[in-house]
């Protein structure tokens, strides 16, 4: 009688201990989450997450840089020659294979985040007299990455093509990025 009671007592103790620890750990985890999430982007930061751009003043062959989420976005009105050059590249020649048509909604408008995918520098090539690298697109001066006229990585340490952000054409000449 006594033995049964004590072994019952033992399993009951174990159960109580384990369930207390489990519930305690879940509670501690839940209490810790706000302290983690408080460091994520705040509502006002998120509210600035879209940018509208009027494309009408941009001429063929010209590039502009706009700010989206504090980052530069390159918008290039590509010439027919640049589009042809970008489309003609074989996918097997690319470090991060992606067809030009998958990087644009309208072939003449190339829109991408102007941040080198290596370590976050801003590539050169937006201004007419900037170095444009060996592939006629952009060149990152920090560690020497070359991008082509579709913003794809062709040579250098960057692992990925320049990122194409989500954007929609609101009208023929206005876009909303984000």
Partner 1 sequence: MSNKFLENPVIKWIEYRLPVFSFINESVGSGYPTPKNLNYWWNFGSLAGIVLAIMVATGIVLAMNYTPHVDYAFESVERIMRDVNYGWLMRYIHMNGGSMFFIVVYIHLFRGMYYGSYKKPRELLWIIGIIIFLTMMATAFMGYVLPWGQQSFWAATVITNLFSAIPLIGEYIVTWLWGGFSVDNPTLNRFYAFHYLLPFVLFGLVFVHLWALHVHKSNNPLGIDIKGPQDTIPFHPYYTMKDLFGLGVFLIFFMFFVFFAPNFFGEPDNYIKANPMVTPTHIVPEWYFLPSYAVLRAVPDIWFISAKLGGVIGMFGFTLVLLLLPWLDRSPVRSAQFRPIYRQFFWVFVADCFILGWVGANTPDAVFYGIPFLWIGRVATVYYFGHILVLIPLISILEKPKTLPDSISAAVTAKGAAPDTAQGAAE
- Report the interface residues with partner 1, using CB under 8 A: 36, 39-42, 45, 49, 65, 67, 69-72, 118-122, 140-144, 157, 159
Q: Which is nearer to partner 1, 61 or 131 (CB)?
A: 131
Q: Which tokens sit at 81?
A: 């020659």
In angstroms, what is the minimal distance from the CB of 2 to partner 1? 48
Q: Which is nearer to partner 1, 13 or 143 (CB)?
A: 143
Identify the three-state secondary structure at position 25.
helix
In angstroms, what is the minimal distance from the CB of 176 to partner 1? 16
Whether 151 and 129 have beta carbons less than 8 Å apart is answered as no
The Cα–Cα gap between 30 and 19 comes to: 16
65 CB-near residues (< 8 Å, 6+ apart) = 72, 73, 74, 75, 114, 126
In angstroms, what is the minimal distance from the CB of 40 to partner 1? 5
Q: Which is nearer to partner 1, 86 or 138 (CB)?
A: 138
Q: Which tokens sit at 139?
A: 């060149």
Q: Which is nearer to partner 1, 89 or 113 (CB)?
A: 113
In angstroms, what is the minimal distance from the CB of 172 to partner 1? 27
Q: Which tokens sit at 130?
A: 């900037």
The Cα–Cα gap between 117 and 156 comes to: 11
Catalytic residues: 143
Backbone angles phi, psi at 54, to 5 degrees: -90, 120
DSSP, res 155: E
């Amino acid at each position: 009688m006594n033995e049964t009671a004590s072994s019952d007592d033992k399993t009951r103790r174990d159960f109580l201990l384990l369930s207390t620890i489990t519930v305690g750990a879940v509670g501690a985890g839940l209490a810790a989450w706000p302290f983690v999430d408080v460091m994520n982007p705040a509502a006002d930061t998120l509210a600035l997450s879209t940018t509208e751009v009027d494309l009408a003043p941009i001429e063929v062959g010209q590039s502009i840089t706009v700010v989206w989420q504090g980052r530069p976005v390159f918008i290039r009105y590509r010439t027919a020659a640049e589009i042809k050059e970008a489309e003609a590249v074989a996918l097997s020649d690319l470090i991060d294979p992606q067809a030009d048509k998958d990087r644009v909604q309208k072939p003449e408008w190339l829109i991408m985040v102007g941040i080198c995918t290596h370590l976050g520098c801003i590539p050169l090539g937006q201004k007419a007299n900037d170095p444009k690298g060996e592939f006629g697109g952009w060149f990152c001066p920090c560690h020497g990455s070359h991008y082509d006229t579709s913003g794809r990585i062709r040579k250098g340490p960057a692992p990925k093509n320049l990122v194409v952000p989500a954007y929609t054409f609101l009208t023929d000449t206005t876009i909303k990025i984000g």
